[in-house]
Amino acid sequence: MSQCNVVQAPKLTRKDFISDQDVRWCPGCGDYAILAGIQRVMPDLGVPREKIVFVSGIGCSSRFPYYMNTYGFHSIHGRAAAVATGIKMTRPDLMVWVVTGDGDGLSIGGNHFIHTMRRNIDLKILLFNNRIYGLTKGQTSPTSEQGMKTKSTPFGALDRPFNPLSVAIGSAATFVARSIDIDSPHLQYVLRRAAEHKGTAFVELYQNCNVFNDGTWESVTDKDVRSDRLLVLEHGKPLVFGKERKKGIRMRPDMSPEVVEINGNTSGLLVHDEMRRDEGYHFMLSRLAGPEFPEPIGVLRAVRDPTYEELLAEQVQAVVQRQGKGNLDKLLHAGETWTVS
């Protein structure tokens, strides 16, 4: 596949990433905004289109690969991360994205989700969280709130919900972030950061299902309440939020967080550090939720650790150095042999 005369490839545009398939999500679905965001970010990454693979499982979000003009694999329910792992291990030069949902990623695919994080293989995992099963028309999901009435839980869900960020941090993820479908600039920023990260990058996206769970994130993402209900994280900046940026978060002596009023003076507030190695602080951030706290968006954690495929390459190289590249004759003659004449 080598080319003799290298021609400077023309810069790609958003259009280059739009496939010829009609997008078939329900009108008004939050997925449209996310798709547009990704198609906008892609050209800036400097990765040729053919080197990008989108892998998905099953669910509304998992239709995503069909709409990207890259390589794509629409696999089976919950298994996208595992399929993507096989691709990345075989071809570390590819940029591999996983698109999943709260049901696909955290319920049927929960096992792959945590093990992918712990391996730190270089995959970008986008979890569209709408807190409902949309494709199967409205059952409770692992992120649905307790008590929520759905078709499968007419008297209220009994399960306690998962917090995807906490699960990711608890699974030793090296990159954990959150954004929302309707805040395009923030969404693009987070996607870009995920793309730049080496290792498993996990992004939770608050996404609205306007048919089966309309307004599920309204209480935090609505324009009128957003600044009070969301804590926008920035590395090296104190944790400040609120319309007039008069509220901050600090730690009590018992190591629990509290919201305090500030008057321009941010001393004593927690200062966001996405690169802290220990997960405790990032886990604490992931637990912040209403009504007492705003919900964090942005990059919670970004730590550089050796990736799985880097360690694999190192190991292979070491064995090759010690034993030389294998050949069939040596393989067949391994162990004790004897000759009959």
Partner 1 sequence: MSDIESTQSAPGVRSRPMSELETVVIRFAGDSGDGMQLTGTEFTKSIAAEGSDLATFPDYPSEIRAPAGTLAGVSAYQVHFSSQEVYTPGDQPDVLVVMNPAALRINLPDLPRGGIIITNVGSFTQSNLEKAGYKANPLEDGSLSGYQVFAIDISKQVALALEGTGLTVKEVGRCKNFYALGLMFWLYNHPIEREEKSIRAKFQKNPKIAEANIKAFRSGYYYGETAELFPSRYVVPPAVIAPGTYRHITGNEATAVGLITAAQLASLPLFCGTYPITPASDILHTLAMYPHYDVITFQAEDEIAAITATIGAAYAGALGVTTTSGPGMALKTEAIGLAVMAELPLVIVNVQRGGPSTGLPTKTEQADLFQAVFGRNGECPVVVVAPATPGDCFGMAIEAARIAIRHMCTVIYLSDGYLANGAEPWKLPEVASLQEIPVTFRTDPQGFFPYLRDPETLARPWVVPGTPGMEHRIGGLEKEDVVGNVSYDAQNHEKMVRIRAEKIACVVREVPDATVYGDTSGDLLIVGWGSTYGAITQAVKSLRRRGHRVSALHLRYLNPMPANVGRILASFQRVLVAEMNLGQLLTILRAQFLVDAVGFHKVQGRPFKVSEIVIKAEELLCAREQAELCAHAEMV
| Only segment of 176-184, 230-238, 269-277, 317-325 that touches partner 1 (CB under 8 A) | 317-325
| Strand duo 175-180 + 123-129: pairing | unpaired
Here the tokens at position 121 are: 């293989």
Angstrom distances, CA of residue 12 to CA of 17, 64, 131: 8, 20, 35
Measured in whole angstroms, how far is the alpha carbon of residue 258 from the centre of its chain? 28
Distance CA 271, CA 217 (A): 26
Q: How far is CA 96 from the centre of its chain?
A: 12
**Shortest Cβ distance from residue 50 to partner 1 (Å)?**
5
Backbone angles phi, psi at 32, to 5 degrees: -60, -45
Show the binding pattern over residues 270-309: x = contacts partner 1 (CB under 8 A), - = does not.
----------------------------------------
Q: Is the CB of 168 or the CB of 230 nearer to partner 1?
A: 168
CB-wise, 48 or 290, nearer to partner 1? 48
Residues in contact with partner 1, shown as a per-residue x/- string from 2 to 31 under the rule CB under 8 A: -----------------x-x----------
Contact 249, 259 (CB under 8 A): yes
Question: If binding is defined by CB under 8 A, does position 45 make contact with partner 1?
Answer: no
Q: Which of 72, 142, 257, 294 binds partner 1 (CB under 8 A)?
A: 72
In the complex, the smallest distance separating the C-beta of residue 53 from partner 1, rounded to whole angstroms, is 5
The CA–CA distances, whole Å, from 173 to 92, 124, 144, 187, 210 equal 19, 11, 23, 20, 31
Instruction: Round to whole Å and give the CA distance between 161 and 132.
Output: 11
340 is an interface residue for partner 1 by CB under 8 A = yes
**The pair of three-digit structure tokens given for residue 332, joined into one six-digit string:** 């067949």
Determine, following the binding rule CB under 8 A, whether residue 311 of this chain makes contact with partner 1. no
Q: Are 102 and 143 in contact (CB under 8 A)?
A: yes
**Tokens standing for 47?**
């990765």
| Cβ atoms of residues 269 and 262 within 8 Å | yes
User: Residue 60 or residue 157: which is nearer to partner 1 going by CB?
Assistant: 60
Whichever of 91 and 151 has its CB closer to partner 1, that residue is 91
What are the structure tokens assigned to 12, written together? 């790609």
Of the candidate spans 32-40, 266-274, 275-283, 322-330, the one that interacts with partner 1 by CB under 8 A turns out to be 322-330
Question: Where does this chain touch partner 1 (CB under 8 A) — which range of 180-188, 230-238, 270-278, 325-333?
Answer: 325-333
Name the one range near partner 1 by CB under 8 A: 49-57, 201-209, 235-243, 297-305: 49-57
Site residues (CB under 8 A) for partner 1? 1, 19, 21, 48-51, 53, 55, 58, 65-66, 69-77, 79, 82-91, 93-94, 111-112, 115, 312, 315-316, 319-320, 323-326, 328-329, 331-341
